[in-house]
Structure 1
């Protein structure tokens, strides 16, 4: 029976992507694990592997197609003995195919044992006795129904435990468990207020000259996530000035000693280390929001915003509290370089509990950053500049001062706790030798 190859979800947040390039053509034979396409997500271009073997019977989505939704059929795979004539008309037009199951099944992707055509539709997604959903491909559900199999008694061998054709073909029939009735659907939430439509905005400027810039996947994702963050995260802001003279002197000494190793530490490297150690000193602030609970993290996984053409990445430096300044510096340089080339893997820019955004190199004195969920906070770093300050002895002097603003998710961190975290960051930066203790 022909099998659909579905648009994969290559990251937890991916909803659609661009089918950048086919690495196979119709008539090619593929094995499980063979590279068959390049998929461009909002963050990177990644290779997509076949999860089953067969012959490429028909390519449904042309390379270069943008905005292909996750779980949309993109090609049809034929098993041994099948021909292109076995592909039903409905399979040749993805628009006519029913919507695929979302959620975990979308994230598992591939789904290449899903039939492109069948005489009868696949049974609805089954549930276990406790009401939990059982993830199984449409073909596996159909075979299970024909054999009288209870899917809740099977273990899946597909991606993320999904039950696939081989699992049900090798199983024996067993009595079906009674499914728990689904709870009544709750009333839909009120829609969030939306701004003026694209047509309305264009009409406002119809008498003016302008160039229309098409949004790519990254820009769409940034717009959606930051809008969601400002609408759903209760932000509050804490501001401090930090005197950098001791740090700059210490940095110059270290760089001179490290010159022979080709290491040059930046102020940002010290900020990463200061934040990592502060999260250990104030462990209640080293947490993330998880919907109905807070997850307190053990390690300090610090995300750092990196500007690239058309957007930004926030690569994560894991276990930052355990790494030396030179190790953090080398890792940050590598992550930033690969971020600009869009070569980061999803696990390198997802996660973390706290972020840093530094615009000081652009001459910005101070600014307020937006918390990137599920992080509990983000430190916005401005430029260091010479300013008059009053010393501990009451005398007026000139010092290099850097302004920082910490944006905090109030669901995770309250005001006093946030103040403790920021104080720990300040103390680390104003007494840099402490960070080496």
Structure 2
């Protein structure tokens, strides 16, 4: 009996993904555990394994296809010696019933038919491909983009295609009727944005990861009232301890970074200041008894935050080893969902770029994030005398719905004390 292979949900939040690459072809024999495809989720590119054995009879979704919904049949596998029945492949989406014949443009429907989409350079059954400038000019002139053929890359409609185009009732402007309600407005991040096409440029397609980053950061700044608290921290004692620990750990091949020690300090500070180790849910406050610190890592496809579980309870050598492994696999897009989803607070360090101070955006549903600036030699008062010390600025961003300013200040005070007297956090 043939087996349908469906788009998997590779993370709890995944609703759709990009079928980045097929690792098999029609006619290949596969067994359980064999790699079938690379799937780009909202966080990473992951490999998808077969759970059954058989022969790949038909691939129904080609590689490179975007926005494939979870549960969509992407291939059909035949049992040994069995042909794949044609009915096993998913049928194309039926076109909406045609409206009454008229010379005017048809009344709008929730989505274009597969035929009209293909004729006008649209993604299959989704949207018309047109530059933002072409869309704006078409709206101003009353030109129906569906009546044009695109001369741009992959059939994209550009400004030149509107030259000489005759105005007509565009679908979006058609009078609504009780039987054909207007489609819902597109999400804000998909609204066309005007830019000057006369400037030499190139277009880069957004990955699912970049789309998710944009959506989550917009959500965070729009829905979470941020409060920012900054402290200056003397690093000399921590730098000295790091040097001593690295000498002791050298035979084990472990080399601690300053960031490893700051992760430890934040974990301990969260445990000592439990009012900041929380999540606001609207009608409840979730209070965590463990500090799982998400650490911002820059990758070629965007920012991702692998997690150090129980940062307060594990050794700094374990934190260092874990971070090297997690950061390396993050840059290769090889993290598993449980390695980057969750966490109780975040740490983002831009000191290696020479950034003195910045205010980070909270990573929901967490309640706070610590932004670390560069350590630099500065005049500093020590024992009532002005001296030169290595000083770092740290800024905590707190969800003010859940964390009062005084509680956030207490965490910053605790974090500062742990960094300036680091033996207390590793004892």
- TM-score class, shorter-chain normalisation, is 0.7 to 0.9
1:418 aligned partner: 408
1:245 aligned partner: 236
Q: CA deviation at 1:432?
A: 0.8
Alignment of 1:98-117 (within 5 A): none
Q: CA deviation at 1:287?
A: 1.8
CA distance in 1, matches of 2:328, 2:315: 20
Q: CA deviation at 1:60?
A: 0.8
TM-score (norm: length of structure 2): 0.72
Contact 1:360 1:381 in 2 (8 A): yes
Alignment of 1:26-425 (within 5 A): 26-27=26-27, 34-51=34-51, 56-78=56-78, 83-87=83-87, 91-93=90-92, 95-96=93-94, 194=188, 197-198=191-192, 200-202=193-195, 205-393=196-384, 395-425=385-415
Deviations 1:301-354 (A, max 9, x none): 111101112312111000111111111111111111111111111111111101
CA distance in 1, matches of 2:95, 2:81: 24
Contact 1:303 1:315 in 2 (8 A): yes
CA distance in 1, matches of 2:190, 2:213: 19
Closer, same or farther: CA 259–18 of 1 in aligned 2, 3 Å: same
Query: For 1:320, what is the secondary structure of its paired residue?
Result: coil
TM-score (norm: length of structure 1): 0.71
Structure 1 residue runs of 5 or longer lacking an equivalent are 99-189
Note the aligned Cα RMSD (angstroms). Answer: 2.8
Deviations 1:96-153 (A, max 9, x none): 499xxxxxxxxxxxxxxxxxxxxxxxxxxxxxxxxxxxxxxxxxxxxxxxxxxxxxxx
CA distance in 2, matches of 1:409, 1:388: 33
Closer, same or farther: CA 254–58 of 1 in aligned 2, 3 Å: closer
Q: Which shifted more, 229-238 or 384-393?
A: 384-393
CA distance in 1, matches of 2:39, 2:371: 33
Q: CA deviation at 1:197?
A: 3.6
CA distance in 2, matches of 1:356, 1:429: 14
Deviations 1:396-426 (A, max 9, x none): 2222111111011122212111111111111
2:418 aligned partner: 428
1:114 aligned partner: none
Q: CA deviation at 1:236?
A: 1.1
Closer, same or farther: CA 35–396 of 1 in aligned 2, 3 Å: closer
Q: CA deviation at 1:31?
A: 5.6
Query: For 2:348, what is the secondary structure of its paired residue?
Result: strand
Contact 1:305 1:356 in 2 (8 A): yes
Query: For 1:247, what is the secondary structure of its paired residue?
Result: helix
Closer, same or farther: CA 212–80 of 1 in aligned 2, 3 Å: closer
Q: CA deviation at 1:71?
A: 2.3
Structure 2 residue runs of 5 or longer lacking an equivalent are 97-183
Q: CA deviation at 1:62?
A: 1.3
Contact 1:2 1:86 in 2 (8 A): no
CA distance in 2, matches of 1:77, 1:272: 47
Contact 2:238 2:419 in 1 (8 A): yes
Residues matched between the structures, number: 340
CA distance in 2, matches of 1:80, 1:195: 47
Query: For 1:319, what is the secondary structure of its paired residue?
Result: coil
Contact 1:2 1:87 in 2 (8 A): no
Query: For 1:75, what is the secondary structure of its paired residue?
Result: strand
Closer, same or farther: CA 215–391 of 1 in aligned 2, 3 Å: same
